[in-house]
């Protein structure tokens, strides 16, 4: 029987991110229109307070996003995206140099500007290079780790019925990532993380099929990120708001961990960190069969 082994470290400018056990990525939204209002951060004081909180609560990565990807979000220019990102990157690099940073962007120009000014970081691209043909060559050129997320269309079209249709959602996305991995490796990208894109071009039912089948992604041999925090797969199912969906998120994150997720991207770091701790303890006594 063939056993697939995932890569367990990610090299970010000589610093190794250890993924032998699951890691938590804390969200820092420097945008005024994120779907979860409580996560919106503006101003240097709020940025510092948020970063201190996510680090103290156990995050290994801070994910900085300046462009909301919800379907009705306002389009912003590259200059505006950089204007929002720059203070957060500067403050983290200056005051918290040991924390890993990921930049949530689909624009190669943003990667160029931030790399030239601040050095290495992880690129978290919701489009896996589909929205900017220069993204993958840029990531390869600078030797940056790359999170490739699955999405069909763009944020304003991703929920069109045609983009949400799959023959078999797990197999279809794995096939997509097999091709994407080949493209990335051929371009020279060496540190790759795959994100199946919960909530992006997926129906509510499809999100649960994907979560249940997440263990199949081990065939890719790369770390897997699960970003399900307070998403509509919970609050629409339960008829509540994002603000009321923390308990459901915790349950979903435990399911993701049990099905092989290596990174949890979350708004609530302490809750996710505790979930990982429980999972790790349980894992000590799990009976594995081949």
Catalytic residues, by residue number, are 231, 265
SS3 of the chain: CCCCCCCCEEEECCEEEECCCCEEEEEEECCCCCCCHHHECCCHHHHHHHHHHHHHCCCCEEEEECCCCCCCCCCCCHHHHHHHHHHHHHHHHHHCCCCEEEEECCCHHHHHHHHHHHCCCEEEECCCCCCCCCHHHHHHHHCCCEEEECCCCCCCCCCCHHHHCCCCHHHHHHHHHHHHHHHHHHHCCCCEEEECCCCCCCCHHHHHHHHHCHHHHHHHCCCEEECCCCCHHHHHHHCCCHHHCHHHHHHHHHHHHHCCCCEEEECCHHHHHHHHHHHHHHHCCCCCCC
């Amino acid at each position: 029987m063939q056993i697939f082994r995932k890569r367990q470290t990610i090299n970010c400018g000589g610093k190794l991110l250890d993924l032998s056990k699951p890691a938590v990525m804390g969200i820092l939204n420097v945008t005024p229109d994120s779907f979860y209002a409580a996560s919106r951060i503006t101003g240097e004081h709020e940025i510092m307070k948020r970063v201190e909180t996510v680090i103290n609560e156990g995050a290994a990565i801070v994910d900085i996003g300046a462009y909301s990807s919800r379907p009705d979000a306002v389009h912003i220019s590259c200059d505006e995206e950089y204007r929002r990102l720059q203070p957060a990157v500067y403050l983290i690099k200056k005051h918290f140099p040991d924390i890993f940073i990921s930049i949530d962007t689909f624009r190669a120009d943003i990667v160029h500007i931030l790399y030239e000014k601040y050095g290495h970081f992880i690129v978290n691209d919701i489009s896996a290079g589909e929205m900017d043909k220069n993204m993958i060559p840029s990531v390869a050129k600078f030797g940056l780790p790359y999170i490739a997320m699955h999405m069909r269309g763009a944020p304003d079209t991703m929920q069109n019925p045609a983009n949400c249709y799959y023959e078999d959602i797990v197999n279809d996305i794995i096939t997509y990532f097999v091709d994407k991995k080949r493209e990335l490796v051929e371009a020279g990208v060496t540190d790759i993380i795959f994100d199946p894109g919960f909530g992006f071009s997926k129906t509510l039912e499809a999100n649960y099929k994907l979560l249940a089948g997440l263990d199949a992604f081990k065939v890719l041999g790369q770390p897997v990120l699960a970003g399900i925090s307070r998403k509509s797969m919970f609050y629409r199912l339960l008829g509540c708001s994002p603000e009321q969906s923390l308990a459901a998120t915790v349950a979903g994150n435990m399911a993701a961990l049990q099905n092989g997720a290596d990174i949890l991207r979350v708004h609530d770091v302490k809750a996710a960190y505790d979930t990982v701790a429980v999972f790790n303890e349980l894992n000590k006594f799990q009976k594995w069969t081949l």
